[in-house]
Structure 1
Amino acid sequence: MPKLGMEPLRKKALMDAALRTIGQQGSLNVTMSDIAREAGVSAALAHHYFGSKQQLLLETIRSLLRALHHDAVAALGQSSGPRARLSAIVRVSFQSNQFTNETVAAWLAFYVEAQRSHQMRRLLVIYNRRLRSNIVDSLNRLCPPDDAARIAEGAAALIDGLYIRHSLQAAPLGISAAPALVENYFDTQLKPFVDAKPSIRIL
């Protein structure tokens, strides 16, 4: 009989092993046995907990999304003002733990798999909607709604594009420069609205 409380620990170990295995092979073409071996458990136990490799992979990406969401909520909670909240979103999007070899390989593999898997595509759509929603929420306090939606689309595309370029080592600039590029985009797009605000005369 398994020890009480071991299931969550073993599930996490298997999800961590899935990330490492995907990172080592650079694709989702891994077997349940490969993942179980990396986790130090039997393939039968892996099947017992997740049922199939597809379910294990889905739970693995859910764990990545939960961690990203947790970090975003924490960063937003520590930020005062809409512009500071935008900076918090940028900072979390490019934090170092998003750029480990395993995490990068997993994200790229998941995006490829989303072309075939409805469930995987749905999870990535949720991520994109959450990112856009967080950006729009802050922008709505800085500019009109139509402009907020337009700027948010550009920012989300810039964040994803920079992540992919850096993950593929196709960017000429280091990862530390990526947040500055997005910050500059926000400043440039918001400048007309900042300049348009009436100044306050102190008599």
Structure 2
Amino acid sequence: MPKVGMPDIRKPQLVQATMAVIERVGLHAASIALISREAGVSTGIINHYFGGKHGLLEETMRAILRQHSITVTQALAKLPKNDHQARINAIVNANFLGFQAESQVVKTWLAFWTYSMHDEQLHRLQRVNEKRLLSHLKIELNSLLPRHRANQVAHGIAALIDGIWLRGALNPAGINAEQARLLINDYLDIQLAQHAPMTN
């Protein structure tokens, strides 16, 4: 976490520089020297406020997660509370469109996923993000399915989001948001049909 007193204007500048350097050379080669040069600041500023590369990466991921949360919240606020499938689609879209689909963000996410497997603090951030996604999904699914099934389907949708996102991130053509939406809605329709009331 950045230390108190760091000018707010510096934080987005350094976060953007971190993502730009990761996109260009990868996480392991993204040195403090390269990032500071990209941001137009001294290496001492990064070391002072973030304690080095690890702290800066953590702040970069926090910034991405904050933006993702804002995107989801704003999208849901525009939709009727009883249109649960549209709200699920909004949650899905937030993972495949806009900021989250930008090349710099995608490559930073990939680096973060890899790094978080071996770092307790970054792993905790990943878990927070996962729990937030599942919570959003379960809120909507609880109105459509029995609670135990809603939990299972939420995990299924989350797995599809992660899998489709990862395949798209590794594809030179990028992430296909429309295909992701179709696949996830197909899965959801099947789950909902299994629990639809029987009619004569």
Asked if Structure 1 and Structure 2 have the same fold, meaning a TM-score greater than 0.5 normalized by the shorter chain, the answer is: yes
Cα distance in 1, alignment partners of residues 172 and 156 from structure 2:
20
Are the equivalent residues in 1 in contact too, given 2:23–2:103 (CA < 8 A)?
Answer: yes
Report what 2:119 is aligned to: 117
Cα distance in 2, alignment partners of residues 167 and 173 from structure 1:
6
Query: Structure 1-normalised TM-score?
Result: 0.89
CA drift of 1:88 comes to: 1.0
Cα distance in 1, alignment partners of residues 46 and 174 from structure 2:
41
C-alpha offsets along residues 119-168 of structure 1, whole Å, 9 cap, x if unaligned? 00000011011101110111001110111011111100000000000000
What is the DSSP-based 3-state SS (H/G/I as helix, E as strand, rest coil) of the residue aligned with 1:41? coil
Runs of 4 or more off by more than 4 Å in structure 1? 170-173
Report what 1:64 is aligned to: 64
Cα distance in 1, alignment partners of residues 175 and 190 from structure 2:
20
| Amino acid corresponding to residue 141 of structure 2 in structure 1 | L
Report what 2:103 is aligned to: 101
Give structure 2 stretches of 5+ with no counterpart: none
Please tell me whether residue 182 in structure 1 is matched to residue 184 in structure 2.
Answer: yes
What is the DSSP-based 3-state SS (H/G/I as helix, E as strand, rest coil) of the residue aligned with 1:8? coil
Report what 1:14 is aligned to: 14
Cα distance in 1, alignment partners of residues 67 and 141 from structure 2:
24
What is the DSSP-based 3-state SS (H/G/I as helix, E as strand, rest coil) of the residue aligned with 2:8? helix
Report what 1:166 is aligned to: 168
Are the equivalent residues in 2 in contact too, given 1:14–1:35 (CA < 8 A)?
Answer: yes
Please tell me whether residue 47 in structure 1 is matched to residue 27 in structure 2.
Answer: no
Are the equivalent residues in 2 in contact too, given 1:36–1:42 (CA < 8 A)?
Answer: yes
Greater CA deviation, 100-109 or 59-68?
A: 100-109
Report what 2:197 is aligned to: 196
Give structure 1 stretches of 5+ with no counterpart: none
Are the equivalent residues in 1 in contact too, given 2:133–2:158 (CA < 8 A)?
Answer: yes
What is the DSSP-based 3-state SS (H/G/I as helix, E as strand, rest coil) of the residue aligned with 2:29? coil
CA drift of 1:96 comes to: 3.1
Cα distance in 2, alignment partners of residues 68 and 198 from structure 1:
41
Query: Structure 2-normalised TM-score?
Result: 0.90
Please tell me whether residue 148 in structure 1 is matched to residue 150 in structure 2.
Answer: yes
Cα distance in 2, alignment partners of residues 77 and 149 from structure 1:
23
C-alpha offsets along residues 17-59 of structure 1, whole Å, 9 cap, x if unaligned? 0011011112243211111000011111222221211111000
- How many percent identity over aligned positions? 36
What is the DSSP-based 3-state SS (H/G/I as helix, E as strand, rest coil) of the residue aligned with 1:7? coil
Are the equivalent residues in 1 in contact too, given 2:115–2:122 (CA < 8 A)?
Answer: yes
Taking structure 1 as reference, are residues 148 and 171 closer, same or farther at Cα in structure 2, changes over 3 Å only?
farther
Are the equivalent residues in 2 in contact too, given 1:139–1:148 (CA < 8 A)?
Answer: yes
Taking structure 1 as reference, are residues 52 and 27 closer, same or farther at Cα in structure 2, changes over 3 Å only?
closer
How many residues are matched?
A: 194
Q: CA RMSD in A?
A: 2.1
Are the equivalent residues in 1 in contact too, given 2:101–2:175 (CA < 8 A)?
Answer: no
Cα distance in 1, alignment partners of residues 51 and 68 from structure 2:
25
CA drift of 1:101 comes to: 1.7
